[in-house]
A and B are shown apart, each in its own frame.
Chain A
Amino acid sequence: MENKIVGATAPVAIAKSNLQKVLEAGHLSVSAEIGPPMSGDRQNVIDKALHLVGIVDAANVTDNQTAIVRMSSIAASYLALQNGVDPVVQMTCRDRNRIAIQSDLLGAYALGLRNVLILSGDHQSFGNHKQSKNVFDLDSVQALQGLDKLMKENVFMGGSPLKAPIDFFLGTTANPFADPEELQIIRLEKKIRAGARFVQTQAIYNLDRFKSWMERVRERGLHKQAHLLAGIVVNRSVRSVEATAGVPGMDVPQSIIDRMRATKGKDGAEAEGVAIALDLIKELKEVEGVAGIHIMAIGWEAIVPTIVEKAGFLPRPKV
């Protein structure tokens, strides 16, 4: 169903995003990431987007990830959209209060951006502005709830009316490997109740643990209330897999590290990194309740088309 904006201006169709249409049609979605540059270099974003045209259904555009200053997610998302990729605007609660979150998203909406992924945001002590203040006026559950109300009831978080409706495809993140598991599941349930309609997971390496987490998710019926997109990271070297294993909240089994360590040279490591990703995808797409695969090829975006093709995901559905 398409909503229409009515009023003094000519009616404008509020089209659903490609990602939403793919998921709602029941296809397994395939998405990737566009990391905005640490500069105002628009060509950098355009090049990354062009690699993904026709390859993925959507691409996350990160919001100052690991608290490192980069081009804004909304600006980079707009460049991606103009160049044929359906972007997922990421919005953290770290840097903006409710005034800025709502204002920025009204702007995003006006630019035609339709997917929004709400997340807490890495603490600024990770990044390159450790001296900064953080905001956290809202947490991600509250941000989702407030935005859901803005969309459904046309009321701003402060209570005043929104004059023309907006409709985003709202998403969030979940980490199957953070603990305590029970509490993380409760929180995911709250995020979905608050308005998240799709959920991207932290990178999965430990399939057994992910499968047991998905059992908990299914017990509570969460996979039926939101589209769950399983995340994977693609590593190209021993160093990269070791670094990934060191990130808080990541669970990389020793067997994966050993597979990378057993390789010879750059080509060998890269081939194994791709093979690991394909093995993971093969299993993940069979897990009941997984609605999509989200590929994070950090620092190796150019490999995404190869992985998508080898995984048998091409051509992407036209919806």
Chain B
Amino acid sequence: MIIANQKSMDEILRSVKPFEKITVAGCGTCVTVCMAGGEKEALKVADMILLDAKASGRAVEINVTSPIRQCDMEFLNDREDELADADCILSLGCGAGVQFMAEKFPDKVVVPGINTSFIGVNRDLGYWTEMCQGCGNCILEKTGGICPVSRCSKSHFNGPCGGSHTGKCEINDETDCAWQLIYERLKRIGQLDRLYEINETRDWSTSRDGGPRSLVREDVKV
């Protein structure tokens, strides 16, 4: 799932300040689950904008809407009426949602209300960690189901650097050394021999390095 974090209220208020008719758009999928930009958060942000406007004596008109997914045009079309009226749309969707909103309304100002953080998992209440960088060339079968691209600070493919210490990464004591985890897991599942294989120079063209990516699947095209 995409994990995101709400921007500071100061930053949000600054970016919507020039506008009178504002629609705050939550998104009903990932950012609802990670409590950064769902309907609940959209309502709260709308209240804060109203309060701020009142305090400075500005008149504003605020709408709140939350499409099921901002990354799907079908759901943006569903909410067209609520969105079309605004001077400014404050999108609480991830980076994809904000951009799709801007594509849907090419003449409107669309501003982001959250920072898209990473693809990750929820480990505990209020605690998420990164698990994938979408590099487009998955090797989890070689590494015991633990990703060295996203979870090793140096994206090493052939074992830990010399800075790993008591199972922790050299960057800080809170970060597990991914290669320690890989080692323990491979040992556990009887695949330690995998560590002797040299993972050769990688083709990064499937990652962001190949330029902005797109995917076309003829089998699902209508």
A184 touches B160 (CB 8 A): yes
Other-chain contact of B198, A93, A178, A182, A190 (Cβ < 8 Å): A190
B179 touches A183 (CB 8 A): yes
The proximity string for A residues 148-181 relative to B, scoring 1 for CB distances below 8 Å and 0 otherwise, is 0000000001000000000000000111001110
Chain B 134-175 near chain A by CB (<8 Å), digits 1 or 0: 000000000000000000011111111111111100111000
Q: Which of B162, B164, B167, B195 contacts A202 (CB 8 A)?
A: B162
Q: Are the C-beta atoms of A120 and B201 separated by less than 8 Å?
A: no
With an 8 A cutoff between CB atoms, is B127 at the interface? no
Residue from B156, B163, B171, B198 in contact with A136 in the complex, judged by beta carbons closer than 8 Å = B156
Q: Which of B156-212 contact A (CB under 8 A)?
A: 156-167, 170-172, 179-180, 183, 195-196, 198-202, 204
B153's contact among A93, A123, A175, by CB below 8 Å, is which?
A123
Q: Does A94 contact B (CB under 8 A)?
A: yes
A133 to chain B: closest CB distance in Å? 12
Interface string of A115-157 (1 = CB under 8 A from B): 0000011110110000000101111111001100000000001
Please tell me which one of the listed residues A98, A178, A190 contacts residue B196 in the complex, with CB atoms under 8 A apart. A190
By a CB distance below 8 angstroms, the chain A residues around B200 are: 142, 145
Which of A94, A142, A174, A184 interacts with B201 by CB under 8 Å? A142
Q: Is the interface of B mostly helix, strand, loop or mixed?
A: loop
Contact B202 A142, beta carbon cutoff 8 Å: yes
For chain B, give the interface size range: 20 to 34
Residue of A nearest to B196 (CB): A186
Q: Are B154 and A194 in contact (CB under 8 A)?
A: no
Given contacts A179-B167, A180-B183, A183-B195, contact A142 B158 (CB under 8 A): yes
In the complex, A40 Cα to B92 Cα: how many Å? 48
Asked if A193 is at the interface (CB within 8 A of a chain B CB), the reply is yes
A interface residue count range (under 10 / 10 to 19 / 20 to 34 / 35 or more): 35 or more
B169 smallest CB distance to A (angstroms) = 8
B204 and A137 contacting across the interface, CB-CB below 8 Å:
yes
Residues of A within 8 A of B171 (CB): 123, 125
CA distance A319 to B113 in the complex (A): 68
Partner of A249, one of B159, B164, B167, B180: B164
Return chain A residues, CB-CB under 8 Å to B201: 98, 138, 142, 145-146, 157
Docked complex Cα distance between A183 and B195 (Å): 8
* Residue of B162, B167, B196 ringed by the most chain A CB atoms within 10 A: B162
For the complex, give the distance between the alpha carbons of A202 and B158 in Å. Answer: 19
A134 near B154: Cβ-Cβ < 8 Å: yes
- Interchain nearest-CB distance for B125 vs A (Å): 28
A310 CB-CB contact with B under 8 Å: no
In the assembled complex, which residues on chain B have CB atoms less than 8 Å from the CB atom of A146?
201
A142: chain B residues within 8 A (beta carbon): 157-158, 198-202
Question: In the bound complex, how far is the Cα of B164 from the Cα of A139, in angstroms?
Answer: 15
Residue A187 at the chain B interface, CB threshold 8 Å: yes
Q: List 6 tightest A-B contacts by C-beta distance, closest first.
A: A187-B159, A175-B162, A141-B158, A120-B161, A139-B156, A183-B183
- Can you offer 11 A-B residue contacts whose CB atoms are under 8 A? A122-B163, A123-B154, A137-B202, A138-B202, A140-B161, A142-B201, A174-B162, A183-B183, A184-B162, A187-B160, A248-B164
